[in-house]
Structure 1
Amino acid sequence: MLIYDLTHEELVDFLLSNNHKKYRANQIWQYLYKQKVQSFKEMLNIPNDLVELLDKNFKVQALELVLKHVSQDGTLKCLYSLHDGHLIETVLMKHHYGNSVCVTTQVGCNIGCSFCASGQLKKKRDLTAGEILAQIIQTEILLGERISYVVVMGIGEPFDNYDELMHFLKTVNDPKGLEIGARHITVSTSGIVPKIKEYAHMGLQVNLAISLHAPNNKIRTQLMKINQRYPVEEVIGAIKYYLGVTNRRVTIEYILIDGLNDTEEVALELVKVLRGLNVYVNLIPYNEVLEAPYQRSKPENMNHFYDTLMKHNIQATLRKEQGHDINAACGQLRSQHI
């Protein structure tokens, strides 16, 4: 078991049940999350018998770096191997306001969106909270710089791994843990309606993003088979529910695909669907995938779509892409070992 899989409270319980003092948990977390040691033997002021106990029951090293690619814009994509040999990808993006990491939550993905490289990977298993945390820690060590923003948008559907996700969010936000502010964290979901409603009651300040990509069921079902289970009306209903409980703005993720969902007619339909909601739309240039028949929206169409939303008082941004040249951009992650 990974030591990162324990919450602070669980570590305290483990120590007390093994006749060690409660305060040792703070020391151990200081080593793990502040100093980022990679061996219990590096915990110099921890008694030898406790080091041996930890070594016997837990592992520190969760990931092995297999490959890394650096984009022309400074984006870093890491291919990591897990203890069972499965591969995952983690992406580090550099911004003027700090470093942001995109973490993976599953080996493969059950959602199977037709436009997404990750959707080509059948789900093998969920990651543990510790394996998600380790992506941040190992990438910080590799980069030699602090990561201050996290997006849970890598391979997998986070709400399909809900319990481990919640555990991860608790530790990543904990002042004794990685101490990344809740408002610097964004969780993205393809629209699992019951989990959106459950998440609304967690009392978190963590940002929520919903992958919508179309304002009607015909287009969205073509892009996202999950729409057959949770159609547009139900997703919008869940967003309204979340807004009513939390009063926190939701990000609507919308990938622009040439001739499919990027026309003025579709933009006006999206305006109608979102009117009156406390949301903003993140327009994303489509990143082409070999297995998918889609092409990126033309620049003039992307700009017109954006202008149409803004004209009708739907706040929007047109995302500046990063890592496209190393297949690290949105929708391109596939745990590929080249």
Structure 2
Amino acid sequence: MKKRDIASLKIDELERLMEDLGEKSFRGAQIFQWIHQKNVDSIDEMTNLSKELREKIKNHFELNTLKIEEKYTSKIDKTTKYLFALEDNNIIESVLMHYSYGNTACISSQVGCRMGCAFCASTIDGLIRNLTAGEMLEQVYQIQKDSKEKVSNIVIMGSGEPLDNLDHILLFIELINSPKGQNIGQRHITLSTCGLVDKMYELADKKLQITLAVSLHAPNDDIRRKMMPIANKYSINDLLKACHHYIEMTNRRITFEYALIHNVNDKKEHAKELGEKLKGMLCHVNLIPMNPVKESSFRESTSSSVKDFMDILQSYGIQTTVRRKLGSDIDAACGQLRRRYLEKN
């Protein structure tokens, strides 16, 4: 019988399970703090529990920790890219980024991805499986332990489509937000989606205070369908209706991610078309100079095209920024390192 992932359990669940094992319920809170506050790598490190209790726990539960398979640190900006090996030997990647407002961990939510976006390396080999809440938490914990630095912000923008793994994502947010754990506030968490409209409505109704980042990448359906298969199921109008609902339910500003691709979606007429669609909306557009992917023919926009695009959006009253390029010397874009590792091995 497969043992339960103890890192994916809430305090009240742990307390009940301790009672089921004939122990005092407060042992559950102690276990929770060992895992989520002290970030131990094994049950044997929980030294205020008796050896007998630790053996009981090991008989029923497993604490799965990630192993750093490879690590690269940028000489340009100190961005660190991690390749983590899971217990089943699957590989995922995470990134530690340094900003003036604190350290940000970019984590994966799935092994691979099934969304098929043409500009993304994560999706080339398809979806292997979802990550558990515990495996998502472990990315943050191992980054903190390795870097000896506190993570204050989390972006769920690594490999995978988070809303395709919504139940585990919601549990991850609850656990990382716990005052008896890392106590990272919801407003310090950003979740990225390619636009699973039905799941966006479900997420909106939870009324969380996280930031929702929507991968838009096109001003119209014709262009978006060529880049993102999800656009064959949901139109941009469908997507924007879901965004308006999210804003209405949470009073949170939406971020639109827009990867600028040379001669595909970066022309002045594209910027004007996008400006017309987004004007008056509580939103922010994050323009992304595209990282080239070997398996894709798409190429990065010129700096003049990026500036023109931003200027036009701002003329519509839309707050627009250009994402700072981090870790360009270590393949820090999503999925690139994992792809290279799989090819090599």
Q: What is the TM-score when the length of structure 2 is the normalising length?
A: 0.95
The answer to whether the 8 Å contact 2:14/2:29 transfers is no
Listed as ranges, the matches of 1:174-253 within 5 Å are 174-253=178-257
Q: Which residue of 1 aligns with 2:301?
A: 297
Letter in 2 for 1:118: S
Verify: 1:120 aligned to 2:130, yes or no.
no
The one of 33, 48, 53 aligned to 2:51: 48
Moved over 6 A (4+): none
Q: Deviations over 1:62-120 (max 9, x none)?
A: 21111111112111111111111111111111112211111111111000100111121
- Distance in 2 (CA, whole Å) between partners of 1:110 and 1:221 is 15
Cα distance in 1 for partners of 2:180, 2:244 equals: 34
Counterpart-to-counterpart distance in 2, 1:259 and 1:331: 24
Show the counterpart of 1:69: 72
Counterpart-to-counterpart distance in 1, 2:96 and 2:261: 25
Letter in structure 1 aligned against 2:287? L
1:26 to 19, 26, 29: 29
SS, match of residue 195 in structure 2: coil
Q: Distance in 2 between matches of 1:298 and 1:37?
A: 47
Distance in 1 (alpha carbons) for counterparts of 2:223 and 2:319:
22
Give, in angstroms, the shift of residue 38 of structure 1: 1.3
| CA offset digits 1:2-41 (Å, max 9, x no partner) | 3211122221121121121121122112221222111222
* Paired amino acid for 2:209: Q
Aligned partner (choices 262, 265, 271) of residue 258 of structure 1: 262
Structure 1 segment 275-286 matched on structure 2, within 5 A: 275-286=279-290
| CA shift for structure 1 position 45 | 1.3
- Cα deviation 1:219-254 (Å, max 9, x = unaligned): 111110110011211101111111122221100000
Quick check: 1:185–1:207 contact (8 Å CA) kept in 2? Answer: yes
CA distance in 2, matches of 1:330, 1:324: 11
Kept in 2, the 8 Å contact 1:155–1:333? The answer is no
Aligned residues between the structures: 338
- Matches of 1:304 and 1:128, distance apart in 2: 42
* Counterpart position of 2:85: 81
Deviation of 1:330 after TM superposition, in Å, equals: 4.8
Residue 256 of structure 2 aligns to a residue whose secondary structure is strand
Measure the CA separation in 1 of the matches of 2:38 and 2:244: 42
> 1:336 Cα deviation (Å)?
3.4
Letter in structure 2 aligned against 1:147? V
Q: 1:106 aligns with which of 106, 110, 119?
A: 110
Residue by residue over 1:288-337, the C-alpha shift from the partner in whole angstroms, topping out at 9 and shown as x without a partner, is: 00011111000011011001111110111111110121111356454532
SS at structure 1 position matched to 2:96 = strand
Alpha-carbon distance in structure 2 between the residues aligned to 1:238 and 1:104? 24
Q: Secondary structure at the match of 1:300?
A: helix
Match of 1:93 in 2: 97
Check whether the contact 2:118–2:227 (CA below 8 A) recurs between aligned residues: yes
Task: Give SS of 1:336's match.
Answer: helix
CA distance in 2, matches of 1:140, 1:100: 11
Q: Is the CA contact 1:89–1:335 (under 8 Å) kept in the aligned structure 2?
A: no
1:159 corresponds, among 133, 158, 163, to: 163
**C-alpha RMSD of matched pairs (Å):** 1.3
2 CA distance for matches of 1:285 and 1:331? Answer: 16
Q: Is the contact between residue 38 and residue 60 of structure 1 (CA under 8 Å) also seen in structure 2?
A: yes
Contact 1:250 1:280 in 2 (8 A): yes
- In the superposition, relative to structure 1, how do residues 45 and 331 fare at CA in structure 2: closer, same or farther (>3 Å)? closer
> Secondary structure of the equivalent of 1:260?
coil
